[in-house]
Structure 1
Amino acid sequence: MQLTKEQQAILDGEKGETLAKVMKTLVMYGDAFEAEKLVPITSKYNHLVTSFGLKVMAPVYDLMQKILDAGVCSEQKFSVDPRPLDKNVPANFLQNLVFNKFMYTKQDYYENQLESLGLMDKDAFTCTCYMDEVGNRPHKDEVLSWAESSAVVYANSVLGARCNRNSGILDIMGSIVGYVPYFGLLTDEGRKASWIIKINTTKKPEAQLLGSAIGMKVMEDVPYVIGLDKWLGTELNDTTCAYLKDFGAATASNGAVGLYHIANLTPEAVEQGESLILDGARVYTIDDAELERVKNSYPVIWKNPDAAPKLCFVGCPHLSLEQLKDWTIKIENELRVNNREKVKIPTVFTAAPGVLTAFEKTDYAPRLKKTGVITSYICPLMYMNNPLCKSMPVITSSNKLRTYSSARYYTDDEILKAITGGDRA
């Protein structure tokens, strides 16, 4: 790897031992992927994936403290993934005991470290940091040092920023020295598509299912999707961006996609068209039957597959303001059809603190509360990490949550019927 004089000086320890170790880590990371150089991070803010104060993560806290003790801080302010705890989310006595006494015992300590290191503000905890209400929205071609998979794929694909799928802690190291290795999705060649995805469905495909199907097929490769604009249109409005948020999260968790292109819709596809497709790209055609096949392939790992759901999570990744409003209307209408006033299954909608604050200022918030739905800022996955939750029948419309936990997947329409007393999930 070729380093500039400034980068070499940091590596040689001219700015202290701590920064030298951080630089060495990034150089070793780049060498592993045959990066030719380090390039400056150009985004205003960073985003960190590690937000949870698990007791077993002692090495992370030790590392953070060494950085702070050396008087080092992040070159950028940053947002962080969601908090794992919220007393408003249903949990029994034993679950709360495990959460507070055994699992997340270092939460307050770690959050204090994050604030000292450069947290944007005390409520900058969300996986959807790019929401307007949060304020960490990178611009096209800006170079990032992020690690959260659903945020990385959104920033690359919908916003046209440039970021590799980094691991946790590497995200903050890039931010500390202000550089990241130049390889993969930072390069023009690395953003070319090696898969052509043809959408031949008879209706708008479920975002989570479509993303899951593509992710499991292409894994870490870049797909170029043709035919989805028929259902989404060619404008990146709130509704379309919310769809792409959920779609991308599924490609990133059910596979390892860090970038996708949607013909006639996403920035690079609009600008460069099919010149983004590599010679010899493989083709994957998705129709109604293929989506049904994918859905039916999901394992049910509940102890009792026929158990009645005891909890429902919607919002992994976090919901947008538009989605909260849409869900409010749909739940009200469906409850009315079923002659009910409140949802029959305890239901939690998760969103960024900033989004929830904006939602509370609308007339939708009291209406949603009246239905019995709980809103929260937590990470559903961190909630489901509690070992006592494994035996709990939880349903979700998130493919990411389904992949990483015992939660059972249903489409949005199926979730709506289940929680409002229609057809039971």
Structure 2
Amino acid sequence: MQHHMQLSEEQQAILDGARGDTLARVMETLVRYGEIFGATTMVPVTSTYNHLVTSFGLKALTPVYELMDQLIQAGAASKQKFSADPRPLDPAVPSNILQNIVFKHFMYSKQDFYENQLRELGLMDPDAFTCTCYMDEVGNTPLMGEVLSWSESSAVVYANSVLGARCNRNSGIIDLMGSVVGYVPYFGLLTDEGRQADWVVEIKTSSKPEAQLLGSAIGMKVMEDVPYIVGLDRWLGELDEDARTYLKDFGAATASNGAVGLYHVEGITPEAVAQGRDLVRDGAKTYVIDDAELQRVYDSYPVVWKNPDARPKLCFMGCPHMSLNQLTTWTERLEAALAAAGRSRIVVPTVFTAAPAVIKRFEETPYAVRLKAMGVIVSYICPLMYMNNPLCSTMPVITSSNKLRTYTTARYYTDDEILEQITGGAQGAKGGER
């Protein structure tokens, strides 16, 4: 093939077929991909593990299964072990007979087959299925400066921003290809230039802004640009477990409501701590977020339920997956809210989702029994994949995830509003008014 990229001897050899035709085609794909974005060189993937966005055995993904088979037959397993996004199915999550038929026999009929392929290619653990692979319990936490080949948007933005690793917002399968050959094209968020901020976002709210709402506002404003956020450190303090949990949800909203792959928070995130406002480009634009702006964004969300006043039939929390910190905190919040409402159990079926490894750790704590006693289901499922079932389009589902709101018919409420609804507080379980 004709290309303009400057390849090393090893990279050129792979492209020329020295390691077989399959790897040559993988390398050719990566070269073509990089040249589209102006990359002139490739760099090694340096992280210990990779992460794949494709985790669901949809019938429609036949080309993916064929590619996986080719890699397996060629002995071209990933150079890195990897985790993958969450599974789409869990029998513990409420569903009716018709939904189960659609899930198992039409939508995700290839799930077991696909998981077998993933294991052959290098899945790091039989239960390494989560969108929050960077959690300590999961064990796929990149180090600052490491080069990744990921594509899951919420994981990419977290790794870039909170951990200081380097990764572009790749597409599915490109993530695996980079890991298979051990190289990725050098452009965008891998470069120092690409990590500079195009926006200064000034936070001037009267209280700590809702993570998902703030992320949504910034994502919709800056789109794929890099924001440098000023004033949030007032509310976060330092990069402790609470702040990491906040930034997990904040970043997911910037990535799904926009296309943010990296943000800097002054005084908090590692590159902002190290370089400060030297990260801001000359001529960067300014966006001021106050209480009125957050309210404007919240009020702009469409209500797509067939009956806007319907009572919720299901609540999903954890898109991206909840942290151990969130599971314990929400257990305490639910207990207090139920006691105030004079109840012992929730009034809306509710699913908290988390990584299997986080759930395992949570079940070792006394909080797990307490949460179950209140009627909450804890699952490893991907809420988005569940909601993508066409039978869910008319189902009134509530969530505090802006990612789930964006991609499905689920309706967004703040954490406090969710708490009120599922415990039968002042508004009870009413779904209509905000």
TM-score of the aligned structures, taking structure 1 as reference length: 0.99
CA shift digits 1:156-176 (9 cap, x unpaired) = 000000000000000000000
User: Following the alignment from structure 1 to structure 2, what is the Cα–Cα distance between the partners of residues 349 and 412?
Assistant: 13
Counterpart of 2:188? Answer: 184
Map 1:15-414; keep pairs closer than 5 Å.
15-233=19-237, 235-414=238-417
User: Following the alignment from structure 1 to structure 2, what is the Cα–Cα distance between the partners of residues 414 and 220?
Assistant: 30
* Matched AA of 2:73: D
User: Following the alignment from structure 1 to structure 2, what is the Cα–Cα distance between the partners of residues 258 and 409?
Assistant: 23
User: Following the alignment from structure 1 to structure 2, what is the Cα–Cα distance between the partners of residues 236 and 108?
Assistant: 39
Q: Percent identity?
A: 71
User: Following the alignment from structure 1 to structure 2, what is the Cα–Cα distance between the partners of residues 379 and 387?
Assistant: 15
CA shift digits 1:118-171 (9 cap, x unpaired) = 000101000000000000000000000000000000000000000000000000
* Matched AA of 2:250: F
CA shift digits 1:298-337 (9 cap, x unpaired) = 0010000010000000000000001000000000000000
User: Following the alignment from structure 1 to structure 2, what is the Cα–Cα distance between the partners of residues 327 and 121?
Assistant: 28
Deviation at 1:28, TM superposition (A): 0.2
Structure 1: tracts of 5 or more residues without a match: none
User: Following the alignment from structure 2 to structure 1, what is the Cα–Cα distance between the partners of residues 84 and 42?
Assistant: 24
Runs of 4+ displaced beyond 3 Å: none
**SS of structure 1 residue aligned to 2:316:** strand
User: Following the alignment from structure 2 to structure 1, what is the Cα–Cα distance between the partners of residues 136 and 110?
Assistant: 30
User: Following the alignment from structure 1 to structure 2, what is the Cα–Cα distance between the partners of residues 141 and 369?
Assistant: 40
User: Following the alignment from structure 1 to structure 2, what is the Cα–Cα distance between the partners of residues 63 and 335?
Assistant: 51
Structure 2: tracts of 5 or more residues without a match: none
Deviation at 1:36, TM superposition (A): 1.4
Instruction: Count residues in correspondence.
Output: 424
Deviation at 1:183, TM superposition (A): 0.2
User: Following the alignment from structure 2 to structure 1, what is the Cα–Cα distance between the partners of residues 146 and 233?
Assistant: 26
* Matched AA of 1:397: S
* Matched AA of 2:77: C
Deviation at 1:71, TM superposition (A): 1.4
Query: Do residues 4 (structure 1) and 1 (structure 2) align?
Result: no
Deviation at 1:72, TM superposition (A): 1.2
**SS of structure 1 residue aligned to 2:393:** helix
